[in-house]
Amino acid sequence: MSASNTSLRRRFVVLVSGRGSNMRAIVQALRDRKLPGEVVAVVSNNTQAAALDWAREQGLEAVAVPHKEYASREQFDAALADAIDSYKPDYVLLAGFMRVLTESFVERFNGRLVNVHPSLLPAFPGLHTHQQALATGVQWHGCTVHFVTPVLDHGPIIAQGVVPVRSGDTPDMLANRLLELEHIVYADVVQWLAEGRVRLDAMQRVHVDGVDCRAFTLPS
Protein backbone atom coordinates (compact mmCIF):
# COMPACT_ATOMS: atom_id res chain seq x y z
CA MET A 1 0.00 0.00 0.00
CA SER A 2 1.54 3.28 -1.04
CA ALA A 3 1.34 6.69 0.57
CA SER A 4 -0.87 8.03 -2.19
CA ASN A 5 -4.60 8.48 -1.80
CA THR A 6 -4.46 9.32 1.91
CA SER A 7 -8.07 10.51 1.74
CA LEU A 8 -9.21 6.88 1.83
CA ARG A 9 -10.69 5.64 5.09
CA ARG A 10 -9.07 2.28 5.67
CA ARG A 11 -10.94 -0.65 7.15
CA PHE A 12 -9.41 -2.94 9.77
CA VAL A 13 -10.56 -6.31 11.08
CA VAL A 14 -8.86 -7.33 14.33
CA LEU A 15 -8.42 -10.99 15.31
CA VAL A 16 -8.25 -11.83 19.01
CA SER A 17 -8.38 -14.84 21.30
CA GLY A 18 -8.37 -13.40 24.83
CA ARG A 19 -8.62 -10.06 26.61
CA GLY A 20 -7.52 -8.05 23.57
CA SER A 21 -5.34 -5.38 25.18
CA ASN A 22 -3.58 -4.65 21.88
CA MET A 23 -6.95 -4.49 20.15
CA ARG A 24 -8.06 -1.87 22.68
CA ALA A 25 -4.92 0.18 22.04
CA ILE A 26 -5.60 0.03 18.29
CA VAL A 27 -9.24 1.11 18.62
CA GLN A 28 -8.36 3.94 20.98
CA ALA A 29 -5.50 5.18 18.79
CA LEU A 30 -7.74 5.31 15.71
CA ARG A 31 -10.33 7.29 17.64
CA ASP A 32 -8.13 9.54 19.77
CA ARG A 33 -5.83 10.48 16.90
CA LYS A 34 -8.78 10.94 14.52
CA LEU A 35 -7.10 8.76 11.93
CA PRO A 36 -8.52 7.95 8.49
CA GLY A 37 -9.38 4.39 9.47
CA GLU A 38 -11.72 2.31 11.61
CA VAL A 39 -12.05 -1.14 13.12
CA VAL A 40 -15.03 -2.55 11.27
CA ALA A 41 -15.06 -5.86 13.15
CA VAL A 42 -13.40 -7.78 15.96
CA VAL A 43 -13.33 -11.52 15.32
CA SER A 44 -12.35 -14.27 17.74
CA ASN A 45 -11.96 -18.03 17.68
CA ASN A 46 -13.09 -18.00 21.32
CA THR A 47 -16.73 -17.28 22.16
CA GLN A 48 -15.72 -16.36 25.73
CA ALA A 49 -13.01 -13.88 24.78
CA ALA A 50 -13.20 -10.77 26.95
CA ALA A 51 -12.17 -8.75 23.90
CA LEU A 52 -15.56 -9.42 22.29
CA ASP A 53 -17.43 -7.99 25.28
CA TRP A 54 -15.26 -4.87 25.30
CA ALA A 55 -15.69 -4.38 21.55
CA ARG A 56 -19.47 -4.63 21.83
CA GLU A 57 -19.44 -2.08 24.67
CA GLN A 58 -17.64 0.26 22.26
CA GLY A 59 -20.31 -0.20 19.62
CA LEU A 60 -18.10 -2.37 17.41
CA GLU A 61 -19.16 -5.41 15.44
CA ALA A 62 -17.84 -8.41 17.38
CA VAL A 63 -18.26 -12.00 16.24
CA ALA A 64 -16.91 -15.44 17.13
CA VAL A 65 -15.91 -18.19 14.73
CA PRO A 66 -15.26 -21.04 17.21
CA HIS A 67 -12.42 -23.23 15.96
CA LYS A 68 -13.71 -26.22 17.93
CA GLU A 69 -16.72 -26.43 15.63
CA TYR A 70 -14.54 -27.38 12.65
CA ALA A 71 -12.97 -30.75 11.93
CA SER A 72 -9.67 -29.37 10.62
CA ARG A 73 -7.51 -26.26 10.61
CA GLU A 74 -8.23 -25.90 6.91
CA GLN A 75 -11.99 -25.85 7.42
CA PHE A 76 -11.73 -23.37 10.28
CA ASP A 77 -9.41 -21.06 8.35
CA ALA A 78 -11.73 -21.10 5.35
CA ALA A 79 -14.70 -20.13 7.53
CA LEU A 80 -12.64 -17.48 9.31
CA ALA A 81 -11.47 -16.02 6.02
CA ASP A 82 -15.02 -15.85 4.70
CA ALA A 83 -16.14 -14.06 7.87
CA ILE A 84 -13.32 -11.56 7.55
CA ASP A 85 -13.94 -10.94 3.86
CA SER A 86 -17.56 -10.07 4.58
CA TYR A 87 -16.26 -6.84 6.18
CA LYS A 88 -14.12 -5.93 3.15
CA PRO A 89 -11.02 -5.00 5.18
CA ASP A 90 -7.94 -3.26 3.86
CA TYR A 91 -5.90 -4.91 6.64
CA VAL A 92 -6.36 -7.82 9.03
CA LEU A 93 -4.60 -7.25 12.36
CA LEU A 94 -3.64 -10.17 14.59
CA ALA A 95 -3.74 -8.98 18.20
CA GLY A 96 -3.20 -11.94 20.49
CA PHE A 97 -4.81 -14.39 18.08
CA MET A 98 -3.60 -17.76 19.35
CA ARG A 99 -3.99 -19.88 16.25
CA VAL A 100 -1.41 -20.98 13.68
CA LEU A 101 -2.84 -19.99 10.32
CA THR A 102 -2.69 -22.19 7.23
CA GLU A 103 -0.74 -21.17 4.15
CA SER A 104 -3.94 -20.76 2.13
CA PHE A 105 -5.31 -18.30 4.69
CA VAL A 106 -2.10 -16.28 4.73
CA GLU A 107 -1.96 -16.18 0.94
CA ARG A 108 -5.58 -15.04 0.75
CA PHE A 109 -4.65 -11.92 2.72
CA ASN A 110 -1.14 -11.54 1.37
CA GLY A 111 0.26 -8.08 2.06
CA ARG A 112 -2.71 -7.19 4.28
CA LEU A 113 -2.12 -9.49 7.28
CA VAL A 114 -0.21 -7.94 10.20
CA ASN A 115 0.88 -9.51 13.50
CA VAL A 116 2.62 -8.46 16.70
CA HIS A 117 5.05 -11.01 18.17
CA PRO A 118 6.60 -10.68 21.65
CA SER A 119 10.25 -10.91 20.64
CA LEU A 120 12.79 -9.17 18.46
CA LEU A 121 12.35 -11.36 15.42
CA PRO A 122 14.05 -13.32 14.03
CA ALA A 123 15.02 -14.20 17.62
CA PHE A 124 12.66 -16.39 19.63
CA PRO A 125 9.84 -17.35 17.27
CA GLY A 126 7.01 -19.43 18.66
CA LEU A 127 5.79 -19.56 22.23
CA HIS A 128 7.35 -18.77 25.63
CA THR A 129 9.43 -15.93 24.25
CA HIS A 130 10.03 -14.30 27.63
CA GLN A 131 11.30 -17.53 29.13
CA GLN A 132 13.53 -17.99 26.10
CA ALA A 133 14.94 -14.48 26.49
CA LEU A 134 15.75 -14.98 30.17
CA ALA A 135 17.20 -18.44 29.63
CA THR A 136 19.46 -17.16 26.85
CA GLY A 137 20.71 -14.24 28.92
CA VAL A 138 19.98 -11.51 26.37
CA GLN A 139 20.13 -7.98 27.76
CA TRP A 140 17.48 -6.60 25.42
CA HIS A 141 14.08 -8.08 24.66
CA GLY A 142 11.26 -6.69 22.59
CA CYS A 143 8.35 -7.00 20.20
CA THR A 144 7.98 -7.01 16.44
CA VAL A 145 5.08 -5.87 14.28
CA HIS A 146 5.39 -7.55 10.90
CA PHE A 147 3.55 -8.66 7.80
CA VAL A 148 2.61 -12.32 8.06
CA THR A 149 3.99 -14.94 5.67
CA PRO A 150 3.36 -18.70 5.59
CA VAL A 151 6.51 -19.20 7.70
CA LEU A 152 5.56 -18.94 11.39
CA ASP A 153 6.63 -15.68 13.05
CA HIS A 154 8.37 -14.55 9.91
CA GLY A 155 7.79 -11.76 7.44
CA PRO A 156 8.74 -8.18 6.58
CA ILE A 157 9.31 -6.17 9.74
CA ILE A 158 7.30 -2.96 10.06
CA ALA A 159 8.49 -1.83 13.50
CA GLN A 160 10.14 -3.13 16.67
CA GLY A 161 10.13 -2.13 20.31
CA VAL A 162 12.92 -2.79 22.79
CA VAL A 163 13.00 -3.09 26.59
CA PRO A 164 15.98 -3.85 28.85
CA VAL A 165 16.15 -7.15 30.67
CA ARG A 166 16.67 -6.39 34.34
CA SER A 167 18.34 -8.42 37.07
CA GLY A 168 15.66 -10.36 38.88
CA ASP A 169 13.17 -10.27 36.03
CA THR A 170 10.67 -13.11 35.85
CA PRO A 171 8.87 -14.05 32.63
CA ASP A 172 5.73 -12.32 33.93
CA MET A 173 7.58 -9.13 34.86
CA LEU A 174 9.24 -9.00 31.45
CA ALA A 175 5.96 -9.75 29.68
CA ASN A 176 4.11 -6.96 31.51
CA ARG A 177 6.80 -4.40 30.73
CA LEU A 178 6.86 -5.44 27.09
CA LEU A 179 3.06 -5.39 26.72
CA GLU A 180 3.03 -1.69 27.56
CA LEU A 181 5.45 -1.12 24.69
CA GLU A 182 3.50 -3.38 22.32
CA HIS A 183 0.52 -1.07 22.69
CA ILE A 184 2.64 1.91 21.66
CA VAL A 185 4.30 0.20 18.69
CA TYR A 186 1.15 -1.39 17.30
CA ALA A 187 -0.83 1.86 17.61
CA ASP A 188 1.79 3.75 15.61
CA VAL A 189 1.94 1.04 12.95
CA VAL A 190 -1.84 1.20 12.58
CA GLN A 191 -1.57 4.96 12.17
CA TRP A 192 0.96 4.48 9.36
CA LEU A 193 -1.33 1.91 7.71
CA ALA A 194 -4.39 4.14 8.07
CA GLU A 195 -2.50 7.03 6.50
CA GLY A 196 -1.30 4.88 3.60
CA ARG A 197 2.38 5.38 4.36
CA VAL A 198 3.54 1.74 4.46
CA ARG A 199 5.00 0.08 1.38
CA LEU A 200 7.06 -2.99 0.49
CA ASP A 201 9.95 -2.78 -1.96
CA ALA A 202 11.03 -5.44 -4.45
CA MET A 203 13.19 -7.09 -1.77
CA GLN A 204 10.17 -7.35 0.55
CA ARG A 205 11.56 -4.75 2.93
CA VAL A 206 9.20 -2.31 4.58
CA HIS A 207 9.41 1.45 4.12
CA VAL A 208 7.26 4.01 5.90
CA ASP A 209 7.07 7.39 4.22
CA GLY A 210 8.17 10.15 6.56
CA VAL A 211 9.61 7.79 9.20
CA ASP A 212 13.36 7.22 9.34
CA CYS A 213 13.56 5.04 12.46
CA ARG A 214 10.95 2.45 13.34
CA ALA A 215 12.46 1.35 16.67
CA PHE A 216 10.65 2.17 19.90
CA THR A 217 11.48 2.20 23.62
CA LEU A 218 9.31 2.97 26.62
CA PRO A 219 9.07 6.64 27.54
CA SER A 220 11.47 7.46 30.38
Give the residue numbers annotated as catalytic, written as ranges: 117
DSSP, collapsed to helix, strand or coil, labels residue 71 as: coil
Sign of the alpha-carbon dihedral angle for 41, 44, 45, 47: negative
Geometric angle at alpha carbon 76, from 59 and 112, rounded to 5°: 60
* Alpha helices, H only, 7-163: 21-32, 50-57, 73-85, 103-108, 129-136
Cα 63 from Cα 57, distance rounded (Å): 13
Q: Are 129 and 119 in contact (CB under 8 A)?
A: yes
Distance CA 74, CA 180 (A): 34
Residue 52 near residue 42 (C-beta atoms within 8 A):
yes
The letter for the amino acid at 2 is: S
